[in-house]
Every structure is written in structure tokens, then in C-alpha cells.
Amino acid sequence: RNLSLLFNRTGLSFNIGLLHANVGSDTGHEPYAPCSLEDLLKPEMDYWALGHVHKKRVLSKRLPFVVYPGNTQGRNIKESGEKGCYLIKVSEGKEVEMEFHATDVIRWATHDLSIQGLQTEQDLINALDQAFLDISERESGRPVIARITLSGSGPLFKFLRGPNTASDLLEILHELGTSYSPSVWVEQIQVRVGPEIDPMVRMKERDFLGDLLRYSRELLGDRHLGELVREDLAPLFESSRIRRYLDSPEDHELKALLEEATRICLEGLHGEEVE
């Protein structure tokens, strides 16, 4: 039900509409009380304070302002980055000044680290140590719960694809992260590395793997990738039972899945598969 249609302007004062709803179709959330941006741009309200989407988004920077402040504290890795609220100042002439204030006490963060150029295990530990410094500075000195993704290709490929390497690295990172103040706690380390193969060179080959790499590159460059994949996955996410446990993936997550699928194919189909 479109609840925005129930709002009516009251007097000449600054009117605020407080609405829990899904605006548009690209929020990655269930369509609760769905409405369009056009519905909210009608001159009924001066400011729409929106809830439902946990990511801050400013949909309109003029009257009427349309703002998702997001939630005040990230709850999981999908809610990474700064969380907080907007302080809104309104002049007598209805000029609006918006200022975001971070309120989260612990911050969730993701960090990608390429293994390209790393020769030894100690090189990797040093690079991870630097990554912790970068994360701590980037997240304004707050305690951080991080997910580290190792990507790219290099000499450490075989080592990192070992059966216990990820869990062993996680133990090292837990010890390393607690030495920082505020601490950086790694909740997961993802290993998405590949053998030392140049995909740009390999895709020039006129064979199955070359065709696959070219098609993958074409899809990754398609700005409509999210729409294409969601259309294929629609039957899955239309199931109420599935939606209770699985959120519809956002565009960056779909891209990461495609990159991971390409890496697995490259690793499995190339002659240099781990022996």
C-alpha cells in the first residue's frame, strides 16, 4: 500500500513527513509500503524523513528533501561504513542545511588486498598489517569488525589455496588486530586469488576459456548487469520462505559473484590448475 498518498500538508509551516517505506525498486529491500520518488516530490511535504533502508541515501537535495539517514549502528557486514543521522537546520525562509553525524560505536568494514607482487608469507603478513592501519584510519579511529578479501594473482596462489591456510591466517589476524587501539577484529577472510595467468592475454585465445573470459568481461562492463541477473533470479527471491533468510543482492555483490565465478573457471579450466 502506498502510504505516501495519505499525507496532507498542514498550514504554512515546515512540513515533515515521517515514512517507513521502500522508495523505488533498487534498494535491495523488500517492497514495504512501496512508492515512487515522483510520489514524494509532490508539494505536500517539505522534508521526507524515511525509514526501512539501512543505508544513507539522499534522494532529493531540494524542497521537498527526501532522505534515508540509514540506521544508527551497523549490525552486520552488509551494513558497513559510517552509520548515524542527519542534523537538519531550517531557516525562516525554509532554507535547509543538512549535516551528517556518525553515531556508531563499532564500525563494520570490508577491505580488498591484492596479492600481486607479494613473494613470501611474510610479505603477506606485512601487507595485512598495513591494511589494518589503513582500515583504522579510514574508519575514524573506531573499533572495527572487518572482512578481508585476498584477490589477484601471484606466487602465493598455491599457498593461499591450501586447505587450512584461511583459518591459520585468521588466527594470526586476530592476534594482530587486538594489538591495535582501537582494535580491528577480522570476522572472516575470503581467499579469491587465482594462478599467475593474465586474463587479458588469455581471453585473446579462440577457445572455450577465451570465449568465457570475453563474455565475463562483457557482463562486468554492462551497466544493466544487476537488472539482467535479478530478472533471472526473480523466481528465487519471490519466494516468501527464501526472503526470510536471503536478501536480494546489491549490484556490487552481483559483480563480486561474477568475478568469483570467473576466477573459479579460470583456475579449473586452465592447464596450470594446482597440482
Provide the whole-model pTM.
0.72
Amino acid at 207: D
Per-residue pLDDT at 231: 83
Instruction: Over range 232-257, report the average pLDDT.
Output: 79
Residue 274 has pLDDT above 50, yes or no: no
Residue 177 has pLDDT above 80, yes or no: yes
Residue 73 has pLDDT above 90, yes or no: yes
Residue 188 has pLDDT above 90, yes or no: yes
Q: What is the largest CA-CA distance in the chain?
A: 76
C-alpha span between 135 and 84 (Å, rounded): 19
R_g of the chain, CA atoms, integer Å: 23
Per-residue pLDDT at 203: 85
Classify 39 as helix, strand or coil.
helix
Q: Which CATH architecture has domain 3-102?
A: 4-Layer Sandwich (3.60)
Neighbours of 250 (CB within 10 A): 15
Residue extents of the structural domains in the chain: 3-102, 107-269
**Higher per-residue pLDDT: 52 or 239:** 52
pLDDT > 70: percent of the chain: 96
Residue 237 has pLDDT above 50, yes or no: yes
Instruction: Over range 3-15, report the average pLDDT.
Output: 90
Residue 142 to residues 126, 137, 138, 164, 180, Cα–Cα distance (Å): 22, 9, 9, 31, 11
What rounded mean pLDDT belongs to the chain?
88
pLDDT band at residue 275 under the 50/70/90 scheme: very low
Q: Which of 238, 230, 203, 236 is nearest to 217 (CA)?
A: 203
Neighbours of 267 (CB within 10 A): 18
Residues 131-152: b if buried by 16+ CB within 10 A, e if exposed: bbeebbeebeebbbbbbbbbbb
Amino acid at 89: K
